[in-house]
């Protein structure tokens, strides 16, 4: 019996250490990061992809991907470490959620989104921009953890505005500093 305890104890301790401490998380709906200084909320921004204005479109040579621009050269929230953990309060379990990499430009960031012929969806994310993540639920709060280390750069957690509205999305942007 003691041998079984020695075998199981490290696994139980590891499981307890991976449980998120959700005490003090704000009560309002949102996406939160727990920094050493306390809880930080990521501001929601509408993700609005637009098409057109380039040579392919003007010369009728085909459709170009839509581009969603995020204001500013960097997100307001910059997190250290390659595997940040985010907590989502007030989201339905069936809400589509994506973790995507944004491309920095001079004074903004962009997410390229290929168009689809479905008016309900309009645009999708490029597979090379999508980051796989683990999702767990504890007392109605979702915890999102990237499955692999994130490279330093700009990212966004993107959710549907409402579960039935696939084309309307909110982005919650953050940057990874790599420290």
Give me the mean pLDDT over the 30-47 stretch.
93
Domains of the chain: 43-176 (2.60.40)
**Confidence bin at 53 (pLDDT 50/70/90):** low
In the chain, beta strands by DSSP E? 30-35, 38-42, 44-47, 49-50, 66-71, 78-79, 86-89, 97-104, 108-113, 133-138, 141-146, 153-160, 169-176
Q: State the residue for tokens 């683990």.
A: 134
Residue with more model confidence, 46 or 8? 46
Res 23: pLDDT? 86
d(CA 101, CA 46): 16
Q: Residue 167: its pLDDT value, please?
A: 59
| pLDDT at position 115 | 73
Measured over the CA atoms of residue 172, residue 29, residue 142 and residue 22, the dihedral's sign is positive
Q: What is the tens place of the pLDDT at every residue in 71-127?
A: 999 999 999 989 999 999 998 888 889 999 999 999 999 998 877 665 555 678 889
Distance CA(87)–CA(66), nearest Å, equals 29
pTM (two decimals): 0.78
Question: Would you state the pLDDT for residue 86?
Answer: 97
Q: Are 74 and 152 in contact (CB under 8 A)?
A: no
| Residue 103, CA distances (Å) to 38, 56, 71 in order | 28, 21, 12
Give per-residue pLDDT as tens, 147-176.
Answer: 999 999 999 999 876 655 555 688 999 999
The predicted pLDDT at position 57 comes to 53
pLDDT of residue 16: 36
User: Cα separation of 18 and 27, whole Å?
Assistant: 22
Mean pLDDT, residues 125-150: 94
Which has the minimum average pLDDT: 89-98, 128-137, 142-151? 89-98
pLDDT of residue 116: 65
């Amino acid at each position: 019996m003691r041998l079984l305890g020695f075998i199981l104890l490290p696994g139980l301790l590891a499981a307890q250490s991976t449980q998120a401490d959700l005490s003090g998380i704000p009560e309002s709906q949102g996406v939160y990061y727990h920094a050493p200084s306390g809880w930080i909320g990521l501001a929601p921004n509408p993700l609005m992809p637009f098409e057109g204005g380039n040579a392919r479109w003007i010369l009728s040579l085909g459709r170009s991907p839509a581009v969603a621009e995020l204001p500013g050269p960097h997100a307001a929230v910059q997190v250290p470490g390659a595997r940040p953990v985010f907590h989502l309060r007030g989201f339905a379990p069936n809400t589509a959620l994506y973790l995507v990499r944004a491309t920095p430009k001079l004074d903004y960031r962009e997410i390229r989104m290929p168009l689809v012929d479905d008016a309900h969806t309009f645009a999708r994310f490029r597979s090379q921009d999508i980051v796989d993540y683990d999702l767990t639920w504890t007392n109605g709060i979702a915890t999102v953890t990237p499955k692999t280390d994130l490279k330093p750069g700009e990212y966004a957690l993107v959710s549907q505005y409402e579960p039935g509205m696939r084309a309307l999305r909110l982005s919650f942007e953050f940057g990874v500093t790599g420290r």
